[in-house]
Structure 1
Amino acid sequence: MNYWLFKSEPDVFGIDHLADRPNQTEPWDGVRNYQARNFLRDDIKTGDLVLFYHSSCKQVGIAGVAEVVREGYPDALQFNPESKYFDPKSNPDAPRWFSVDVKFRKKFKQVLSLQAIKANPDITELGIVKKGHRLSIMPVTPHEWSLLLAMTGEAL
């Protein structure tokens, strides 16, 4: 099993969207960065766990945990001319963009703030603590995963 951090704006798609439908899966789609796309297409596997990170909001930080329940498949939004994620250079025979499906695992009682994460001297390699790192999907080491979960004060 691998660990990941997925960033999203909670007014677009947040942990509450999953928590409101705990037995349903949702696509993680609309990713338009090639490195993040490669993670979705090649590396993220069924059973992997995801730290659900809220960005561009009042409480920036880790809000909960999701589980990957379907591995990478072509993101349907790339083929829809009415979608803001439409890509005219993509086609079904050679898709450019990929999605995975996730399912709710846990919402934390309190968001683990970016400030608290940055203050932990043992977390130095995680993308969100590095200056200029803007990926919406990033790997999390098992050590970082353990540290971050301990910081929430909650068990999975």
Structure 2
Amino acid sequence: MAYWLFKTEPDVFSITDLAEKNTADWEGVRNYQARNFLRDGVALGDLVFIYHSSCKQPAIVGIAAISKSAHIDPSQFDPSSEYFDKKSSSDSPRWLQVSVEFVEQFKQPITLTKLKADLNLTDFILTQKGCRLSVMPVTPEQWHYITNMCQT
């Protein structure tokens, strides 16, 4: 099993939305490195921190599990979608998505400010300056440390 962090804007799709739906396709990833993580790393059963970004208080807000491994993101072919990619075709799709299943919403989100201030997380990718990836790996040690932060 591997561990990941997926970013989402809560006004577009939040942890509450995922809890209500229970499962969802994680569509719209349009960064090649993030796409490659979905293609080559993310696997069925992996666990994912859900991170709210581009909001008043960016934070890790809960956990999801991968319920379907990488498959073609159909939004790339839909001209009415904000994720449409005119260079992509059904013969040569460029973008993938995974499906996630709701696991848990944290009672207290773990804010980016708190994560950056923690000296045990100085190598956590999310806290690195300029990190803009929407999908990123989390080490097992970081995963366990952060999940323990929820219990204190």
Normalised by the size of structure 2, how large is the TM-score?
Answer: 0.97
Match of 1:15 in 2: 15
- Deviation per CA, 1:75-124: give whole Å up to 9, x if none: 00000011111111111121100000000000000110011111111112
CA RMSD in angstroms comes to 1.0
Residue among 46, 49, 52 paired with 1:51: 49
Is the CA contact 1:29–1:100 (under 8 Å) kept in the aligned structure 2? yes
How far apart are the structure 2 equivalents of 1:56 and 1:73? 26
Give 1:65 deviation, angstroms.
Answer: 0.1
Which residue matches 1:71? 69
**Cα contact 1:74–1:99 (8 A) shared by 2:** yes
For residues 99 and 21 of structure 1, what CA distance do their matches in structure 2 show? 17
Tell me which residue corresponds to 2:34: 36
Count matched residues. Answer: 152
- Structure 2 equivalent of residue 97 of structure 1: 95
- Matched letter for residue 10 of structure 1: P
Is the CA contact 1:59–1:111 (under 8 Å) kept in the aligned structure 2?
Answer: no
In the other structure, the counterpart of 2:83 is 85
Identity score, percent: 52
TM-score by length of structure 1 reads: 0.94
SS at match of 1:35: helix
Q: Which amino acid aligns with 2:21?
A: R
Displacement, 1:66? 0.3
For 1:153 and 1:56, the matched residues in 2 are separated by 26
Do residues 118 (structure 1) and 97 (structure 2) align? no
| Alignment check: 8 A CA contact 1:77 1:85 kept | yes
Paired with 1:55 and 1:32, the residues of 2 have a C-alpha distance of 16
Partner-residue secondary structure (3-state), 1:88: coil
Secondary structure of the residue that 2:38 maps to in structure 1? helix
Offset, 1:11: 0.8
| Whole-angstrom CA distance in 1 between matches of 2:21 and 2:32 | 30
Please report how far the alpha carbon of residue 59 of structure 1 lies from its aligned counterpart in structure 2 after TM superposition.
2.2
Hey, what does 2:5 align to over in structure 1? 5
